[in-house]
Amino acid sequence: MAGPLFAFCYYEPLDKDCMRALSAVVTLAISSFAVSGPTPLRVLRVTPTDAAAATAVVTVTFDRPVAGSLDATVDPQRIFAIAPAVAGRVEWRDPITLRFTPAAPLSPATAYTVTVSNEFAAMDGGRLAQPYSFTFRVHGTVPLAGAPTGPNEVGQFLKPDAQIARCCSCACGPSRSARSAPTTRGAIARPVAGSATGAGMRSGAS
Protein backbone atom coordinates (compact mmCIF):
# COMPACT_ATOMS: atom_id res chain seq x y z
CA MET A 1 0.00 0.00 0.00
CA ALA A 2 1.46 3.38 -1.08
CA GLY A 3 2.07 6.03 1.54
CA PRO A 4 1.23 9.77 1.45
CA LEU A 5 2.92 12.17 -0.96
CA PHE A 6 5.04 15.08 0.25
CA ALA A 7 5.86 18.35 -1.52
CA PHE A 8 7.99 21.29 -0.52
CA CYS A 9 9.08 24.59 -2.05
CA TYR A 10 12.47 26.25 -1.75
CA TYR A 11 12.93 29.97 -2.49
CA GLU A 12 16.42 31.19 -3.27
CA PRO A 13 16.99 35.00 -3.38
CA LEU A 14 18.87 36.15 -6.50
CA ASP A 15 19.25 39.82 -5.64
CA LYS A 16 17.79 42.55 -3.47
CA ASP A 17 14.77 43.31 -5.64
CA CYS A 18 13.59 40.01 -6.91
CA MET A 19 13.17 36.48 -5.84
CA ARG A 20 13.05 33.41 -7.91
CA ALA A 21 11.06 30.53 -6.69
CA LEU A 22 12.58 27.15 -7.00
CA SER A 23 9.99 24.49 -6.55
CA ALA A 24 10.78 20.90 -6.04
CA VAL A 25 8.40 18.08 -5.51
CA VAL A 26 9.60 14.92 -3.93
CA THR A 27 7.53 11.79 -3.95
CA LEU A 28 8.32 9.22 -1.31
CA ALA A 29 7.18 5.62 -1.39
CA ILE A 30 6.43 5.24 2.29
CA SER A 31 5.31 1.68 1.73
CA SER A 32 8.94 0.53 1.64
CA PHE A 33 9.39 1.98 5.12
CA ALA A 34 6.12 0.67 6.50
CA VAL A 35 6.40 -0.57 10.07
CA SER A 36 5.65 -4.29 10.37
CA GLY A 37 5.23 -6.50 13.43
CA PRO A 38 8.09 -8.65 14.80
CA THR A 39 8.79 -12.00 13.20
CA PRO A 40 7.42 -15.05 15.06
CA LEU A 41 9.51 -16.42 17.91
CA ARG A 42 11.22 -19.75 17.11
CA VAL A 43 12.73 -22.60 19.11
CA LEU A 44 16.34 -23.19 18.03
CA ARG A 45 17.09 -26.41 19.93
CA VAL A 46 15.93 -28.63 22.78
CA THR A 47 17.51 -31.24 25.02
CA PRO A 48 17.21 -34.14 25.36
CA THR A 49 16.25 -34.96 21.78
CA ASP A 50 15.69 -38.71 21.83
CA ALA A 51 17.01 -41.31 24.27
CA ALA A 52 17.81 -39.74 27.63
CA ALA A 53 19.38 -40.71 30.92
CA ALA A 54 17.27 -40.76 34.06
CA THR A 55 19.23 -37.73 35.29
CA ALA A 56 18.59 -35.65 32.15
CA VAL A 57 17.90 -31.90 32.41
CA VAL A 58 15.38 -30.44 29.94
CA THR A 59 16.26 -27.22 28.08
CA VAL A 60 14.46 -25.16 25.44
CA THR A 61 16.44 -22.45 23.60
CA PHE A 62 14.75 -19.64 21.65
CA ASP A 63 16.13 -17.55 18.79
CA ARG A 64 16.03 -14.26 20.72
CA PRO A 65 15.91 -12.98 24.32
CA VAL A 66 12.71 -13.61 26.25
CA ALA A 67 13.81 -13.00 29.85
CA GLY A 68 15.88 -9.85 29.51
CA SER A 69 15.51 -8.32 32.95
CA LEU A 70 14.04 -9.03 36.37
CA ASP A 71 11.11 -6.68 35.85
CA ALA A 72 10.28 -8.11 32.42
CA THR A 73 10.80 -11.82 32.99
CA VAL A 74 8.18 -14.27 31.75
CA ASP A 75 7.13 -16.63 34.55
CA PRO A 76 8.67 -19.98 33.44
CA GLN A 77 6.22 -22.08 35.45
CA ARG A 78 3.33 -20.52 33.53
CA ILE A 79 4.60 -21.55 30.09
CA PHE A 80 6.30 -24.93 30.74
CA ALA A 81 4.60 -28.30 31.10
CA ILE A 82 5.83 -31.90 31.10
CA ALA A 83 3.76 -35.08 30.95
CA PRO A 84 3.68 -37.39 32.79
CA ALA A 85 3.98 -34.81 35.55
CA VAL A 86 7.41 -34.54 37.17
CA ALA A 87 8.35 -32.57 40.28
CA GLY A 88 11.24 -30.21 39.72
CA ARG A 89 12.44 -26.64 39.19
CA VAL A 90 11.82 -24.67 36.01
CA GLU A 91 13.80 -21.47 35.48
CA TRP A 92 15.54 -19.22 32.97
CA ARG A 93 19.15 -20.38 32.59
CA ASP A 94 19.85 -17.28 30.50
CA PRO A 95 17.71 -14.77 28.52
CA ILE A 96 17.02 -17.28 25.72
CA THR A 97 17.05 -20.67 27.49
CA LEU A 98 14.36 -22.28 29.60
CA ARG A 99 15.61 -25.07 31.89
CA PHE A 100 13.78 -27.77 33.85
CA THR A 101 15.68 -29.78 36.49
CA PRO A 102 13.79 -32.81 37.84
CA ALA A 103 13.77 -33.21 41.62
CA ALA A 104 14.47 -36.95 41.28
CA PRO A 105 15.65 -39.29 38.52
CA LEU A 106 13.12 -39.78 35.74
CA SER A 107 11.35 -43.12 35.43
CA PRO A 108 13.20 -45.58 33.17
CA ALA A 109 11.62 -46.80 29.93
CA THR A 110 9.18 -43.87 29.97
CA ALA A 111 8.33 -41.32 27.26
CA TYR A 112 7.91 -37.69 28.33
CA THR A 113 6.29 -34.88 26.35
CA VAL A 114 7.33 -31.27 26.96
CA THR A 115 5.04 -28.40 25.89
CA VAL A 116 5.91 -24.70 25.83
CA SER A 117 2.89 -22.40 25.71
CA ASN A 118 2.63 -19.60 23.14
CA GLU A 119 0.96 -17.25 25.62
CA PHE A 120 4.03 -15.08 26.13
CA ALA A 121 6.16 -12.68 24.13
CA ALA A 122 9.88 -12.17 23.59
CA MET A 123 11.47 -8.83 24.39
CA ASP A 124 10.79 -7.59 20.84
CA GLY A 125 7.14 -8.68 21.03
CA GLY A 126 7.54 -11.84 18.95
CA ARG A 127 5.48 -14.87 19.91
CA LEU A 128 5.46 -18.56 19.05
CA ALA A 129 3.09 -19.21 16.19
CA GLN A 130 1.67 -22.15 18.18
CA PRO A 131 2.53 -24.13 21.32
CA TYR A 132 5.79 -26.03 20.87
CA SER A 133 6.02 -29.70 21.88
CA PHE A 134 8.66 -32.41 21.73
CA THR A 135 9.03 -35.92 23.16
CA PHE A 136 11.97 -37.85 24.56
CA ARG A 137 12.27 -41.28 26.10
CA VAL A 138 14.28 -42.36 29.14
CA HIS A 139 16.10 -45.60 28.43
CA GLY A 140 15.50 -48.65 30.58
CA THR A 141 17.68 -50.08 33.32
CA VAL A 142 21.20 -50.76 32.11
CA PRO A 143 23.54 -53.16 33.98
CA LEU A 144 26.80 -51.38 34.78
CA ALA A 145 28.91 -53.81 36.77
CA GLY A 146 28.78 -57.02 38.76
CA ALA A 147 30.83 -59.08 41.18
CA PRO A 148 32.32 -61.57 40.85
CA THR A 149 31.10 -61.36 37.25
CA GLY A 150 29.27 -58.71 35.23
CA PRO A 151 28.06 -57.61 31.80
CA ASN A 152 31.56 -56.64 30.63
CA GLU A 153 33.34 -59.76 31.89
CA VAL A 154 33.45 -63.38 30.79
CA GLY A 155 31.75 -66.06 32.85
CA GLN A 156 33.65 -67.43 35.86
CA PHE A 157 33.52 -70.66 37.80
CA LEU A 158 31.60 -70.11 41.03
CA LYS A 159 31.00 -72.01 44.19
CA PRO A 160 27.56 -73.62 44.68
CA ASP A 161 26.64 -71.04 47.32
CA ALA A 162 28.06 -68.03 45.45
CA GLN A 163 26.29 -64.68 45.88
CA ILE A 164 26.22 -62.25 42.97
CA ALA A 165 26.18 -58.47 43.41
CA ARG A 166 25.11 -56.23 40.58
CA CYS A 167 25.00 -52.48 39.94
CA CYS A 168 22.52 -50.95 37.49
CA SER A 169 21.99 -47.50 36.01
CA CYS A 170 18.97 -46.79 38.22
CA ALA A 171 17.35 -48.17 41.32
CA CYS A 172 14.69 -50.82 40.87
CA GLY A 173 13.09 -53.51 42.96
CA PRO A 174 14.47 -57.06 42.90
CA SER A 175 12.84 -59.48 40.54
CA ARG A 176 12.58 -63.23 40.84
CA SER A 177 15.42 -63.72 38.38
CA ALA A 178 17.46 -61.16 40.33
CA ARG A 179 17.61 -63.21 43.52
CA SER A 180 20.54 -65.47 44.26
CA ALA A 181 20.18 -68.77 42.51
CA PRO A 182 21.99 -72.05 43.26
CA THR A 183 24.73 -73.03 40.88
CA THR A 184 26.16 -76.40 40.03
CA ARG A 185 29.75 -77.10 41.03
CA GLY A 186 31.93 -76.45 38.04
CA ALA A 187 29.16 -74.57 36.21
CA ILE A 188 29.80 -71.31 34.38
CA ALA A 189 27.72 -68.40 35.71
CA ARG A 190 25.97 -66.17 33.22
CA PRO A 191 24.46 -62.77 34.20
CA VAL A 192 20.72 -62.20 34.06
CA ALA A 193 18.64 -59.05 34.54
CA GLY A 194 18.80 -57.87 38.12
CA SER A 195 18.44 -55.02 40.54
CA ALA A 196 20.75 -52.38 41.92
CA THR A 197 21.04 -54.17 45.26
CA GLY A 198 21.41 -57.79 44.32
CA ALA A 199 21.23 -60.07 41.31
CA GLY A 200 21.11 -63.69 40.50
CA MET A 201 22.83 -65.82 37.92
CA ARG A 202 21.66 -68.70 35.88
CA SER A 203 24.07 -71.53 35.42
CA GLY A 204 24.93 -73.58 32.41
CA ALA A 205 26.90 -76.69 31.93
CA SER A 206 30.65 -76.11 31.75
CA pair distance 68, 70, nearest whole angstrom: 7
pLDDT in tens, the chain (206 residues): 444 444 445 555 555 554 444 344 334 344 444 456 789 999 999 999 989 999 999 999 999 999 987 666 899 999 999 999 999 999 999 999 999 999 999 999 999 999 999 999 999 999 999 999 999 999 887 777 777 666 666 656 677 777 777 777 666 555 444 444 444 334 444 444 444 444 444 444 44
Domain ranges of the chain: 43-138, 141-206
What is the topology classification, in CATH, of domain 43-138? Immunoglobulin-like (2.60.40)
Contact of 187 with 204, CB cutoff 8 Å: yes
From residue 200, how far is each of 63, 132, 183 by CA, in Å? 51, 45, 10
